[in-house]
Amino acid sequence: MKALLTVILSMFVIQMSAQDFRFDESLVASYPFNGNANDESLYGNHGTVVDAELVADRYGNMNSAYWFNGATSFIIVPDNASLDITSDISIAGWMKKNSDVPWASMVTKGGDSGALEENNYTIHNSDVNSVIFTSSLPNTSNGSIAIPLNEWHFITFVRQGTSGKFYIDGISDDVSQNIFEGDFTTNTSSLYIGLDLPGSTEYFHGCLDDIKIFNRALTAEEITLLFSGTFTSIDQNKATCKDSFTIWPNPVSANSGFFVDCHDHVPDEFSLLDDVGNTVFKETRMQDPNYFIDLKRLKLSAGNYFTVVKKNNSFMSKTIIIKN
């Protein structure tokens, strides 16, 4: 169900670095699950798979996500100092729940002993069909948006300073925002994916993919790029917000079209992406700053799409709403 994706009002210009995302030192664990549970960050936090099965990911690529049976499946990652995070943190990943198992975790460094005070950080299913972040600190972040069963959705939790909240499918869940004062307690326990510790043991039932853990707070723009599948690496000093192009009308009928006005520059490339990052249209022969996109010819379904304009190594993006 695409109803979870609402209007993205922010517009951004991102200067993309030539380096691969894996060389971002703040990324302490990255599990694309491309046939295994290897970590593609710099830190080599590889996982061992227990009873989880390789399945197709959200794009239909075989052996590119893991299915957890809700009873015995999990992935375990040995303790490493890089995984011990005390303050700013971002945890992101795709989930497709087959059933609602409250407190079953997407990812946890909760502590092997079962003591709640050892919980470094955990994203669980909540008991209201959403998600919840817990740690050694007394406050929690409680997602307010229900996560439907049997559908892929992108979950991100970010703590920055004393504030933490969820993003669901790239959209800020402001109701989930809460105060986190003090440092998270670290531990020497393993990291688990699909298994909840501490306290009672709950197993995740469904599919997980592209789990990432950062020891810093991601920006809203970075979360949008992760969600749309276009994030490689961002030079923080070059990320800016500018009104660099215009799209109209917005919203637009699927039986008409819309204009892209790049003002005083001719872009190298224009792309239209759907809400899971698939490119549905691309034009590389731009000759004019103004361009018309004929939606009637493209025959796209209603929904929210990303318009992406490329000029040299800069990517500018806005969201357009297509209606029936």
- Domains, the chain, ordered by start: 1-20+232-324 (2.60.40.1930), 27-215 (2.60.120.200)
Q: For residue 130, is pLDDT > 90? A: yes
**Of residues 242 and 148, which shows the higher confidence score?**
148
**Of residues 245 and 14, which shows the higher confidence score?**
245
Q: For residue 153, is pLDDT > 50? A: yes
Q: Among 140-154, 259-273, 309-323, name the one with the lowest average pLDDT.
A: 309-323
Q: How many CB atoms lie within 10 A of CB 127?
A: 12
Residue 99 is predicted with a pLDDT of 94
Beta bridge mates, 292:
259
**Of residues 271 and 24, which shows the higher confidence score?**
271
Q: For residue 168, is pLDDT > 50? A: yes
**Of residues 230 and 173, which shows the higher confidence score?**
173
Task: Name the pTM for this structure.
Answer: 0.68
Written in H, E and C, the secondary structure of the chain is: CHHHCCCCCCCEEEEECCCCHHHCCCEEEEECCCCCCCCCCCCCCCCEEECCEEECCCCCCCCCEEEEECCCCEEEECCCHHHCCCCCEEEEEEEEECCCCCCCEEEECCCCCCCHHHCCCEEEECCCCCEEEECCCCCCEECCCCCCCCCCEEEEEEEECCEEEEEECCEEEEEEEEECCCCCCCCCCCEEECEECCCCCEECEEEEEEEEEECCCCCHHHHHHHHHCCCCCECHHHCECCCCCEEECCCEECCCEEEEECCCCCCCEEEEECCCCCEEEEECCCCCCEEEEEHHHHCCCCEEEEEEEEECCEEEEEEEEEEC
Residue 224 is predicted with a pLDDT of 82
Q: For residue 270, is pLDDT > 70? A: yes
Residue 105 near residue 196, CB atoms below 8 Å: yes
- How far, in Å, CA of 282 to CA of 268, rounded? 11
pLDDT tens digits, 187-230 = 999 999 999 876 678 999 999 999 999 999 998 888 887 887 64
The percentage of residues in the chain with a pLDDT greater than 70, rounded to a whole number, is 83
Residue 19 is predicted with a pLDDT of 30
**Of residues 204 and 3, which shows the higher confidence score?**
204
pLDDT band at residue 318 using 50, 70 and 90 as cut-offs: confident
Instruction: Calculate mean pLDDT across residues 58-85.
Output: 94
Instruction: Calculate mean pLDDT across residues 270-299.
Output: 85
Q: Among 20-24, 51-55, 180-184, name the one with the lowest average pLDDT.
A: 20-24
Residue 193 near residue 145, CB atoms below 8 Å: no
Residue 237 is predicted with a pLDDT of 33
Instruction: Calculate mean pLDDT across residues 256-284.
Output: 83
Q: For residue 233, is pLDDT > 50? A: no
Whole-Å CA distances, 116 to 81, 143, 159, 163, 199: 20, 20, 20, 21, 6
Residue 9 is predicted with a pLDDT of 28
